[in-house]
Structure 1
Amino acid sequence: MTRRVFTPARAGIHVFLFGAALFFLLPLYVMLTTSFKGMDEIRAGSILALPVAWTFEPWRQAWSEVCTGAACEGVRAGFWNSVAITVPGTVLPILVGAVNGYALSFWRPRGANLLFGVLLAGAFIPVQVMIYPLVRLLAGAGIFGSLPAIVLVHLIFGMPVMTLLFRNYYASLPQELFHAARIDGGGFWRIFIHVMLPLSLPIAVVAAIMQITGVWNDYILGLVFAGRDNLPMTVQLNNVINTTTGTRLYNVNMAATILTALVPLAIYFFSGRWFVRGIAAGAVKG
């Protein structure tokens, strides 16, 4: 068994990693401790001090009482709006991206490379450039400011990256699998459903993590396209934080911020190793 030798280089790596972890975890620590303090303790104490009297009242207010505009019902409604947007806004782009990547990798229709280049270029177009044309298009279709509108927008903006991920992943699979399925009489959809989809779990997890966090953390698209009745949690959080009337409740603001970020944090915490496996299994191969 090889014994690891402690060297200055290894010590430097550990110091750097510790400093990086501290840099990213310190704001989260401050947010957590502040969210469990009363306002009197926040005004009188140190920002890094642990709460003297722990209280869950700020969390209750953030969830069900804080004003997010004209209504004072907390960020609870925004949470369920975000769930209603994120679920179809994740499933549909992944399915469309998987079909596109499968077609571009194995069937290669005429102009496939050109189509892939156009899709790839779409991933680098700034969102702000497309907002006004999409507003006019969705308004003309009569769905602007609705749940289908915001889901469709996330499908449009998510499809290029999803196609890129699945196309590169399928390109790394042995071509013999496809040829054997074709010899057995498999068609486009039969091969996709029975051969490709069962092999797609690693990259599907990567795609789901990327799409869920992107849709959940989105602000500008939800503000423009979701409509007043479907505002996501991020938009309601902005209304909470930027409220200028009365006393600014830092503990409630911190609790609302953590509640908003809880889903992406949980996904990365529990699915981090799946993300690494998916990347290693071919997500960056081409």
Structure 2
Amino acid sequence: MQRLHRVILFGLLGLFAAFFLLPFYVMLVTSLKDMEEIRNGSLLSLPGMLRLDSWAKAWGSACTGMSCGGLQPYFVNSLMMIVPAVAVSTVLGALNGYIFTKWKFRGSELLFALMLFGVFMPLQVVLLPMSQVLGWVGLSDSIWGLVCVHVLMGLASTTLFFRNYYLSLPDELIKAAMLDGAGFFRIFWRIVLPLSTPILVVTVIWQFTNIWNDFLFGVVFSGADSKPITVGLNNLANTSSSVKEYNVDMAAALIAALPTLAVYVLAGKYFVRGLTAGAVKG
């Protein structure tokens, strides 16, 4: 009976997984067909011959509005934006969590509670004040302006992650290091940060996914030469032509999704472990 239950359970899980992956399968097989095969076949049929022409066009020559350079420049813009944004927001979140748990001061709990508003605040609320500030400091319509926006908007989440995780670290470690003469930053770099691998992985994956998939800030705060991949994908899909090339659109969508897919495939199990490591604290 137990074996039958196990077979039924795994059968249902397999069915749900197949249903969940069906859109991805349709996108993949469509991107490998030519337009004649798409028109004469069905969505679920396999390509008669593997063709990568649509991928090459989506990357290097598809029109995205008035430009016909494909997704390549947008992809590069996203890479230039996401590396410093993820690194800075993660380091600042770790420092904040370290301070709020191991170096508390008068009003720290209130300050942390105020920071939590950033987790629940609608993104549309900050568009106007953020655009004004970026204009004042000369960073509007630039990649570095987008970096600043994503660092600030991600700081509340990264602080929450690290603060909850650091609550599980014993205070005796910090006190012992202080008795040995270690200061604030030395304790952080030599003791706290090496113990933070699980939550570091969680934060990096979380920030990477949110920033890479962001469209709202990308379309509002970017200029002609600093648009991220999501804006480029939208422009490509909405560019009108005599013939709608669904294979190119699907290939472009997969190109835009590949980095986040790779991150979750390579580090997905560490993401779950890191979340559970700090889930019962705070």
With normalisation by structure 1, the TM-score equals 0.95
* Structure 2: gaps (5+ residues): none
Distance 2:153 2:12 in 1: 36
> What is the root-mean-square deviation of aligned Cα atoms in Å?
1.3
Secondary structure of 1:186's aligned partner: coil
Gaps (5+ residues) in structure 1? none
C-alpha separation between the residues in 2 aligned to 1:222 and 1:254?
21
Identify the residue that residue 268 of structure 1 maps to in structure 2. Answer: 264
Partner residue, 2:150? 154
Q: Deviations over 1:155-188 (max 9, x none)?
A: 1110000000000111111111111111111211
Match of 1:189 in 2: 185
1:6 aligns with 2:3: yes
SS in 1 for 2:225: helix
Matched, 1:89 2:95: no
Measure how far apart 1:13 and its partner are. 2.7
> Kindly tell me: are residues 284 and 144 of structure 1, through their superposed partners in 2, closer, same or farther at Cα, counting changes over 3 Å?
farther
Q: Which moved more, 1:77-86 or 1:133-142?
A: 133-142
Q: 2:169 aligns with which of 147, 170, 173?
A: 173
Question: Which residue matches 1:139?
Answer: 135
Q: Of 240, 254, 268, which residue of structure 2 is paired with 1:258?
A: 254
SS at match of 2:2: coil
Return the alpha-carbon distance in structure 2 between the equivalents of residues 130 and 110 of structure 1.
Answer: 29
Aligned residues between the structures: 282
Question: Distance in 2 between the 1:41 and 1:92 partners?
Answer: 47
TM-score normalised per structure 2: 0.97
Question: What is the aligned partner in structure 2 of residue 52 from structure 1?
Answer: 48
Letter in 1 for 2:184: F
User: Is 1:281 the counterpart of 2:243 in the alignment?
Assistant: no
**Deviations 1:247-272 (CA, angstroms, capped at 9, x unpaired):** 11000000000000000000000101
- Residue in structure 2 matching 1:64, options 60, 63, 66: 60
Q: Which residue of 1 aligns with 2:123?
A: 127
Q: Using the alignment, how far apart are the partners of 1:133 and 1:19 within structure 2?
A: 47
Match of 2:240 in 1: 244
CA–CA distance in 1 between the matches of 2:279 and 2:249? 38
Describe the superposition over 1:113-159 as per-residue Cα deviations: whole angstroms up to 9, x where unpaired: 00110111111000001101111111122211112210000011100
Amino acid at match of 2:52: F
For 1:283 and 1:136, the matched residues in 2 are separated by: 38
